[in-house]
Amino acid sequence: MEINNTFPKNIPSKHVSDSAIEEIRPVFKADLNSQNRLFGGTLVTWIDVVAGCVARKHSSCNVTTAAIDSLQFKEPVFENNMVVLQGRLTCVGKTSMEARVDSYVESLNGDRKLVNTAYLVIVALDEQSRPVPVPRLICDTPEEKAEWEAGIKRRELRKKRREEDF
Ligand SMILES: CC(C)(COP(=O)(O)OP(=O)(O)OC[C@H]1O[C@@H](n2cnc3c(N)ncnc32)[C@H](O)[C@@H]1OP(=O)(O)O)[C@@H](O)C(=O)NCCC(=O)NCCS
């Protein structure tokens, strides 16, 4: 099922699964903070890169990050852990795409714990660095449809916050 999209009908559509990616990052000494845990800013960089790659795959354009929603670090990550980052699109507008990135810490025995769920807004750019329309998004599963609906609500909330300068 294809939901939305209110934008140009001649623009092609792509499935959520077409651009979903998983990336695995081993944690090295250089990634640690003074408490010997993964530096939060490094994780944010990894999340941003994964969201950008998802958005590039969907739009086939260069992209830039317009917003990152609130971040919480629920589990510490230590040297020699693996961080698994799963990224996928949840919702698209005309030129912007919302990507969800789930980050997990995986220990040697394969146990995975959720560290963070982040939503990022990524905008597709043309050769002149101007926002450019993106393909429509086909949501196939009930989970993808629910994410779409939630993404629309988050989009409205972000817009309201911008209008109120909050
Ligand atoms: C993101 C950016 C390209 C938007 O440009 P703009 O001239 O404001 O363009 P528009 O107002 O047409 O917005 C384009 C889209 O981005 C969305 N958008 C813009 N600013 C946003 C924000 N702060 N939060 C969420 N969405 C935003 C708009 O809703 C619009 O979405 P839509 O086309 O799907 O409806 C521009 O603000 C920019 O270059 N920002 C810096 C981004 C950057 O350098 N990031 C790297 C980290 S510093």
- C-alpha 162 to ligand 1 mean position (Å): 11
- Ligand 1 closest atom vs CA 95: 33
49-96 pLDDT per residue, tens: 999 999 999 999 999 999 999 888 999 999 999 999 999 999 999 999
Query: Is there an atom of ligand 1 within 6 Å of 124 CB?
Result: no
The pTM of the full predicted model, rounded to 2 decimals, is 0.94
Q: Which domain holds residue 116?
A: 13-163
Is 85 within a domain?
A: yes
Q: How many domains does the chain have?
A: 1
pLDDT tens digits, one per residue of 27-54: 999 999 999 999 999 999 999 999 999 9
Other C-beta atoms lying within 10 Å of the C-beta of residue 60: 12
* Cα distance between residue 140 and residue 143, in whole Å: 8
* 93 CA closest ligand 1 atom index: 34
Within a domain: 123: yes
**Residue 2 domain-assigned?**
no
Q: How far apart are CA 20 and CA 56, in angstroms?
A: 11
33 alpha carbon to ligand 1 midpoint, in Å? 32
**Backbone angles phi and psi of 54, in degrees to 5:** -60, -45
Establish if 91 belongs to a structural domain: yes
- Sign of torsion over alpha carbons 125, 128, 130, 132: negative
